[in-house]
Structure 1
Amino acid sequence: MKMSFVVHGGDFRVPAGYEAEFEAVLAKALKGDGTIKVTIEPNYQKRTLKENAYFHVLCKRLSEMAGGTQEDIKEMAKAKAVHLGYPMEKDKSGNPIKGDYGFKGIPSSEANIGECALLIEAVHMLASENGYYLED
């Protein structure tokens, strides 16, 4: 018997809804020689160039509409995306890095498909909160 789930961050817990399945797998595994094998691997879904490019296009459009630089819009969007679950950039000690607009997000070049979607959503939220509409 085998099970799989995704965990965010290094603080591992069996996610809600998987407890019974985990207990069943564990009970079955322990009937053998009493050992189980635990495998941890990144859940990396590579971003596409299209998604990354779209994020940059939206940042450029918003910067042209609202003023300011494209880089500022990117940093604001990343800080907003952190609140949506986007990964934070960390220093060598593993502590989150705070920027001018809140906690800094990882570079978009390191973002996977789901993380790029959070960035795109954050740019749309920034635009809407400031009275702008970004057409697709």
Structure 2
Amino acid sequence: MSRSYAAEQFDIGFYPRHLGNWEVPASKKATSAQTNFDTLKPRTGRTEFIVGNDGRLLPGMPKRAAAFNINLNCWEQAPARWPKANPCINKGPNATMGYRGIPSSYLFSSTVTLPAVEIPGCKERLFQ
């Protein structure tokens, strides 16, 4: 059977009335938002449009940055993506043969010698 849960099913436990931590503002500072504590001061000035109906900046408005503004100094100072090969680390031999000694064209052919024994009657070949 399915159940129906409200979207705020986990939020109710954190409401102040459930936690019992009612708070009173320490001082009545003036804010520009409307509250119930009579701490408002009226806003001054007026709203100015900075873009036109087409979404472009109006003449005389300063352009802060481009959408694709890239700081070239950031790229120059960034470390390399892959570190250089360390000659002190022994990585071991590279594989030259695929599954069951089948030669593969994408692997190097002269890097690894596989120790194998020729068995009479065996269908597998000794690759060297």
TM-score scaled to structure 2, two decimals?
Answer: 0.17
Greater fraction helix: 1
Bigger-Rg structure (1/2):
2
TM-score scaled to structure 1, two decimals?
Answer: 0.16
Q: Comparing both chains, which one has the higher relative contact order based on Cα–Cα distances under 8 Å and sequence gaps of 6 or more? A: 1
